[in-house]
Amino acid sequence: KSQESLQFNGQITPGIGWIDLNTNSSKFYEYRDMKEGFYIPGVQLNAIQPNSGFYLQFGGKRLLWDDQVIRLNLGDYTSFWNISIDHKKTPNRLSNKAMTPYSYRGDGVFNSAGYVGIIKDTIDANGTVSLVPTKAQMHVNDSLVAQFLEKNLLPIDLGTQRNNTSVTLNLMQTEELKYSLTYMHETKTGKRNNYGTLGDRPPRTLNVQLPEPVDYTVSEVLANAEYQTNGFQARFNYTLSSFSNQLDFLRWDNIFFTPDTPNDYITTVAGTPRNASLVGQRALAPDNISHYFTLATSIILPFESRLTATGSIGMMSQNENLLPYSYSDLGGDRNAANGDSLNWNDPNKLPINTASAKINTMRLDFEYLINPFNALNLKAYARYYKLDNQTPINQWRYVTQDVATTDGDVSYVNYRRNLAHGFDNMKFGIDLRYYLNFWRTSIGLGAVRENINREYREANTGENIINASLRTRPMKWLSLSAGYLMGDRQIDEYNYMVTSQSYWYSFERGANQVDNPQFLFANHPDLRKYDVSDRKRNKMNVSANLNLLDDLDLSASFTNKSDDFDSQVTPVAPFANTLVPLPNPEDKNAMTPGKQLGLLKDNRQNISINLQYVASEWLTLSMYADQENAKYDIRGMVYNENLRNQPSSQSSSQPTQLGPWNDPNRLYMSNTEEITNSIGLGVMIEVIPGKLRFSTDANVSMATVDMIYSGYGSDPSYLGRDWETFDFGFNSPGKAEFNQYVVNASVEYKVFNNLTCGLHFMFNQYEITDWIQEPSGAWVEFVESENFLRDTSRDNRWGNRLVSLGSYLAPGYTANAVFLNITYMF
Amino acid sequence: SNKSKFGTSAKEVNWVELNSGFKEATFVKDKNVCLSCHEESANKYKHTSHSRAFEFSKEGTLESKDCESCHGPRSKHIEDPDGSLTFTEEQYSKVCMQCHQDNSRMYWSGSIHKSSDVNCVTCHSVMEQKSDEFLLSKNSQTEVCSECHTDVKAKMNKTSHHPVKEGLMDCSSCHNAHGAPGTGMLVKGTINETCYTCHQDKRGPFTWEHAPVREDCSNCHEPHGSNNRNLLTTQNASLCVSCHQYGGHINQYRYNRVSTPYGNGCVNCHMTVHGSNHPSGAKFTR
């Protein structure tokens, strides 16, 4: 009988669409799937049994497309259970125009169609093998690469598709006790743009931009139990999350490989022949698993005060089988005196064969609320978080033997130790809010202390924060608020030598190394990393809300946040106590310039205006305008790390060379300003109430990023030559611009009570100018196609060449689309 | 039993404390009396999940009072149906908390929203179904939140953004508007743990960790939207140079000269900046 009484209602909207897109840009499809022809933008089905309270609700959007969202709910209003099933597809299209000479073979392997066969070495006038091609020879090589690409480039779609399904069961055992259980399964597949490097660093790196395959699944279980009674509630939550990557590595052919060993040198630096591997390989994200247990309780205490306590324990781990140091069989230290007869591609060369990485976390949070008297709210809290990194620290070697010199060990400076970075954060504070008895005014005051201790970092930090706020409503139609926050973060001591902890060679073995970070310094002593530096923060906001009429709201706000990272840097003598014998002993007293390097200031400002007009149910209007202005200043320095132990060296002091680290003339500044202007408008009019409705919205976002570069590298008077032809020269790049224009308009006409026709129009335009995505300076150029780029301002190293997937992988576009829908309600 | 749909052992609010006009008022417990004047509201209300929950849970502690469970004892209102027995928005929140203190509202009392005079009815339309879920006052979460957070709405329109405006994420994917311990009212205990709910591939742990990445994703990323690719806080190479001045090859935007145009600057070679599991991952190049 109850089956017979099942009542249905719902609606289905089929439609048809036309799209006019002037450029097949992935940006148009970035997070959406949109196709011409038949589609189903929406379905809703509801069923209920009035007798039993059983219900079923099904809703779906964009059902035939790859950005669909589906939800099914079923349950019982009387016996208090329900099940919901959610399914969501999320595309992330990255490029429709990328080209690559690589073809995907599955399992993380990309093969090239062949090899370029470049000219490698030459005989100079004295009959000596020169390992750096002449400019003319390198141009021949460039032509060979360009020809190879012209012949072998193939289109490849870049983008990923994330499909997520979750099932949740909610149960109520008693009025006080509830449970829920969720199982979530997600897959993500596709390809994204990334890079493959062979060798160690740029002059000796053979880098290609290539697709990286993505193929992983995530499974999660969330269990929740909740107890609540008068004055007390508790919630326990357990989350298990398992990430499983189907691909352990990315492996690719070296298109520059020339199969005529033993002389297959990739010529980079004179006197340093490098064998090049046939294949490169790097690790992809490892399988990992995490567990979180959380218990939260809240209890009402005397004087109607409330204590909330939350404790959480987390465990993250992964034990992926490690790849060998190198995929190739080039090099090794088989013949070295202290060698182990194993090649670099032998997994037995590793200190451990599985990662054994593990991090435990703990969180404790206490919050106490009380109203000591009616006009005062008080909140006191303490929060503690500890991230305990238990990954074992091992002794590794930074092996770049996929482009090798000769058989043997790696350089001492490549004896590296992985550091188990961890930290703990203790934060406690108090918030007061006092309500005055006029104009509905309240005043807020807050004080916070936050201490963060870090392992293997440059500094621990302690910050005092105070804030004040005011809210008032002097007139019924006017609300005002203002707030101010001041933070003062101080470090205990900045240890610029901390990087040395990631090196493990002995002093005896490394004493003669000229760029020895363990005994000298790695990062410049005047640098302060902004997350562990002193910081003065000032943040203020002012806002006003005007109810000009009953149906008209206008609000405006202004926010400014300013971070000043000035850490009172003064000149230091980093070699004063070094154990390394210096070529010039007087360099022990060499002083840094004492000008702070790194991010110096970051200022972000925002002005917003918002207007809402709701004349009636048949006419609404909304508008907003927003301007965001971000400015950040960075100071850098150009210096020669290979002559770190002899700043007084004449060779490093030449104007056209990388300079010594103590030369204040080698400083440069970049001042960046980002301005984003956004405006939006929305209108809804019921032209014929209940029958004909028109709605439209329009959004414009116009952004510029302008970097002004000054100082060393941009100043021809100092360099003695133009920055374009100086290999360490740079200059202010062109302004990057990102403009988006969106207009949506809809007309819906209710033909019958259960049938509505809708006509929807969409206009999208995206404009982009970005110096980072296309060579625009004199120092870099295309070679025959946008897929091969070179910089010839210095020499003919391979590090100055890049085979890429193309410029502007997601270019600007203009699109118009029309959709005609019919909604049938039943 | 007095089982309530909301399962909260609901504690009834003290109506007289909310509005002294309730003094001596009694519960009428007859919905039809209410409908005789408020039919228009009731017609909208009957399509809401609230309405159904009350309809099928009549034996619940509060549900049995139906309209009066939220609007208070109305005997005096019936006698003199003026507008005196109304509540402020904040008082409405107390009414809602009779049933909704549970689950994600555990932290509501100390939340920044509550202390900023945001109340339940600021965001929810309890008498009318205007959204697919949660009885929101607007069509979607994004619309509700951006009424106040216009700056965030503007950020979402930047070239690099999460798929929020496309409807594939909501503000509640990361934030619990009803309150949470810590800053930002995040759904998880920390920024990173919140990010890992979708970016499990970045979770590791890795053999080679990048310390600022492990500590705080927002050291480098602006999740609400950015003019820089990959939601970075600053232009690609600038970001790296903010912390790395090793000398020579890495300390200038142009070097490696062909990696600044095309791609990600430093990340062209140091592509595993989120952490590496390769034995030669010390410099995040593998």
Q: What is the pLDDT of residues A623-668, one digit of tens each?
A: 999 999 999 999 999 888 878 888 888 766 676 677 889 989 889 9
Distance CA A806, CA A153 (A): 11
Give the residue, B250 or A792, on which the prediction is more confident: A792
Q: Across all residues in chain B, what is the average pLDDT?
A: 86
**Confidence at residue A665, expressed as pLDDT on a 0 to 100 scale:** 87
State whether residue A286 sits within 8 Å of chain B by CB.
yes
Q: Select from B26, B123, B48, B215 the least CA-distant residue to A460.
A: B215
**Confidence at residue B250, expressed as pLDDT on a 0 to 100 scale:** 54
**Confidence at residue A270, expressed as pLDDT on a 0 to 100 scale:** 43
**Confidence at residue A6, expressed as pLDDT on a 0 to 100 scale:** 83
**What is the mean pLDDT of the segment spanning B32-56?**
86
pLDDT tens-digit profile of B212-227?
999 999 999 999 999 9
**Confidence at residue A399, expressed as pLDDT on a 0 to 100 scale:** 84
* DSSP secondary structure, A171-190, as one string: EESSSSEEEEEEEEEEEEEE
Strand A249-253, strand A109-112: pairing: parallel
Tokens representing A164 are 């997520």
CB-based contact B108:B120 (threshold 8 Å): no
Tokens representing A108 are 């993380």
**Confidence at residue A265, expressed as pLDDT on a 0 to 100 scale:** 46
Peptide bond into A606 cis (omega under 30): no
State the smallest CA–CA distance between residue A113 and chain B in angstroms: 23
State whether residue B17 sits within 8 Å of chain A by CB.
no
CB-based contact A779:A793 (threshold 8 Å): yes
Q: What's the pTM value of the predicted model, to 2 decimals? A: 0.93
Comparing CB atoms, the residue among A523, A531, A730 nearest residue B252 is A730
**What is the mean pLDDT of the segment spanning A741-751?**
97
CB atoms within 10 A of CB A716: 14
Q: What is the DSSP letter of A735?
A: P
pLDDT tens-digit profile of A304-353?
899 999 999 999 999 999 999 888 776 666 555 556 778 888 899 899 99
**Confidence at residue A2, expressed as pLDDT on a 0 to 100 scale:** 45
Q: What is the DSSP letter of A812?
A: -
Q: What is the DSSP letter of A347?
A: G
State the smallest CA–CA distance between residue A50 and chain B in angstroms: 9
Could you give the 3-state DSSP secondary structure of residue B144?
helix
CB-based contact B273:B213 (threshold 8 Å): yes
Task: Indicate the range of A47-51, A258-262, B62-66 predicted with least confidence.
Answer: A258-262
Q: Select from A697, A706, A698, A703 the least CA-distant residue to A677.
A: A703
**Confidence at residue A267, expressed as pLDDT on a 0 to 100 scale:** 43
CB-based contact A757:A749 (threshold 8 Å): yes
Residue B39 has pLDDT above 70, yes or no: yes
Give the residue, B277 or B31, on which the prediction is more confident: B277
Interface with B, mutate which of A228, A306, A400, A443 (most B CBs under 10 A)? A228
Q: Select from A248, A156, A153 the least CA-distant residue to A211.
A: A156
Phi-psi region of B157 (alpha: psi -120 to 50; beta: other; left: phi over 0): alpha
**Confidence at residue A94, expressed as pLDDT on a 0 to 100 scale:** 95
Measure Cα distances from B165 to A739, B141, B170, B224 in Å. Answer: 16, 10, 8, 11
CB spacing of A423 vs B101 below 8 angstroms: no
* DSSP secondary structure, A579-604, as one string: -SPPSSGGGGG-------BEEEEEEE
Query: Residue holding tokens 């691909």?
Result: A247
**Confidence at residue B201, expressed as pLDDT on a 0 to 100 scale:** 96
Most confident range (mean pLDDT) of A226-230, A679-683, B28-32 is A679-683
Residue A215 has pLDDT above 90, yes or no: yes
Interface with B, mutate which of A77, A381, A684 (most B CBs under 10 A)? A77
Residues sharing a CB contact under 8 Å with residue A758, sequence separation 6 or more, in sequence order: A13, A15, A746, A747, A748, A749, A819, A820, A821, A822, A823
Size of interface A-B (CB pairs under 8 A): 410
Comparing CB atoms, the residue among A312, A699, A793 nearest residue B157 is A699
What percent of chain B lies above the pLDDT cut of 90? 41
Distance CA A317, CA A649 (A): 48
CB spacing of A308 vs B106 below 8 angstroms: yes
pLDDT tens-digit profile of B201-212?
999 999 999 999
State whether residue B38 sits within 8 Å of chain A by CB.
no
Considering only residues 291 to 350 of chain A, which have any Cβ-Cβ distance to chain B shorter than 8 Å? 292, 294, 296, 298, 306, 308, 310, 312, 314, 316-318, 320, 322-326, 350
**Confidence at residue B236, expressed as pLDDT on a 0 to 100 scale:** 80
Contacts of A672 in chain B (CB under 8 A): 234-235, 238
pLDDT tens-digit profile of A688-739?
998 999 999 999 999 999 999 998 888 776 666 667 777 777 888 889 999 9
pLDDT tens-digit profile of A554-580?
999 999 999 999 999 999 999 998 888
State the smallest CA–CA distance between residue A127 and chain B in angstroms: 32
Q: What are phi and psi of A737, to 5 degrees?
A: -130, 140
What percent of chain A lies above the pLDDT cut of 70? 90
Q: What are phi and psi of A138, to 5 degrees?
A: -70, -35
**Confidence at residue B260, expressed as pLDDT on a 0 to 100 scale:** 57
Q: Select from A603, A630, A629 the least CA-distant residue to A538.
A: A603
Interface with A, mutate which of B168, B238, B274 (most A CBs under 10 A)? B168
Tokens representing B137 are 């006052």
CB-based contact B75:B28 (threshold 8 Å): yes
Burial B237-257, CB ≥16 within 10 A → b, else e: bbbbbbbbbbbbbbbbbbbbb
Task: Indicate the range of A51-65, A184-198, A643-657 predicted with least confidence.
Answer: A643-657
Q: Select from A408, A434, A423, A505 the least CA-distant residue to A457.
A: A423
Distance CA A389, CA A360 (A): 6
Distance CA A351, CA B219 (A): 32
**What is the mean pLDDT of the segment spanning A575-602?**
92
**Residue B106 carries which side chain, given as an amino acid letter?**
M
Task: Indicate the range of A233-242, A447-456, B180-189 predicted with least confidence.
Answer: B180-189
**Confidence at residue A231, expressed as pLDDT on a 0 to 100 scale:** 84
Distance CA B145, CA B133 (A): 14
**What is the mean pLDDT of the segment spanning A172-183?**
90
Confidence of residue B90 (pLDDT cuts 50, 70, 90): confident
Q: Select from B97, B107, B100 the least CA-distant residue to B185.
A: B107
**Confidence at residue A122, expressed as pLDDT on a 0 to 100 scale:** 57
Residue A104 has pLDDT above 90, yes or no: yes
Query: Residue holding tokens 């129009």?
Result: A761
pLDDT tens-digit profile of A248-295?
999 999 887 765 544 444 544 444 555 667 888 999 999 999 999 999
Element spanning A417, H or E = strand A415-417
Confidence of residue A4 (pLDDT cuts 50, 70, 90): low
**Confidence at residue B257, expressed as pLDDT on a 0 to 100 scale:** 55
**Residue A294 carries which side chain, given as an amino acid letter?**
T
For the CA atoms of A774, A777, A779, A783, the dihedral, rounded to the nearest 10 degrees, stands at 40
Residue B98 has pLDDT above 60, yes or no: yes
CB atoms within 10 A of CB A363: 23
**Confidence at residue A119, expressed as pLDDT on a 0 to 100 scale:** 63
Q: Across all residues in chain A, what is the average pLDDT?
A: 89
Find the residue in B nearest to A237 (Cα).
B103
State the smallest CA–CA distance between residue B218 and chain A in angstroms: 10
Task: Indicate the range of A447-451, A502-506, A592-596, A745-749 predicted with least confidence.
Answer: A502-506
Distance CA A595, CA A668 (A): 11
Task: Indicate the range of A5-9, A69-73, A128-132 predicted with least confidence.
Answer: A128-132
Give the residue, A115 or A27, on which the prediction is more confident: A27
**Confidence at residue A336, expressed as pLDDT on a 0 to 100 scale:** 53
Residue A362 has pLDDT above 50, yes or no: yes
State whether residue A448 sits within 8 Å of chain B by CB.
no
C-alpha A635, offset from chain centre: 23
Tokens representing A580 are 């390394």
Confidence of residue A1 (pLDDT cuts 50, 70, 90): very low
Residue-level length of chain A: 826
Q: Select from A76, A71, A73 the least CA-distant residue to A49.
A: A76
Distance CA A810, CA A804 (A): 14
Find the residue in A nearest to B204 (Cα).
A288
State whether residue B12 sits within 8 Å of chain A by CB.
no
Q: Select from A15, A66, A74, A6 the least CA-distant residue to A39.
A: A15
Which runs of consecutive H residues, i.e. helices, occur in B72-161? 75-79, 89-100, 112-115, 120-123, 141-146, 150-156
**Confidence at residue A199, expressed as pLDDT on a 0 to 100 scale:** 73
State whether residue B125 sits within 8 Å of chain A by CB.
no
Confidence of residue A141 (pLDDT cuts 50, 70, 90): confident
Confidence of residue B170 (pLDDT cuts 50, 70, 90): very high
Considering only residues 53 to 112 of chain B, which have any Cβ-Cβ distance to chain A shorter than 8 Å? 53, 55-57, 61, 101-103, 106-107, 109-110
Q: Select from A305, A183, A297, A381 the least CA-distant residue to B102.
A: A297
Confidence of residue A780 (pLDDT cuts 50, 70, 90): confident
Residue A13 has pLDDT above 60, yes or no: yes
**Confidence at residue A259, expressed as pLDDT on a 0 to 100 scale:** 57
pLDDT tens-digit profile of A494-505?
999 898 899 998
Find the residue in B nearest to A315 (Cα).
B205
Query: Please, which residues bridge with residue A16 across strands?
Result: A38, A820
Distance CA A331, CA A455 (A): 35
Comparing CB atoms, the residue among A194, A729, A772 nearest residue B236 is A772
Residue A397 has pLDDT above 60, yes or no: yes
Handedness of CA A253, A256, A258, A261 (dihedral sign): negative
CB spacing of B227 vs A738 below 8 angstroms: yes
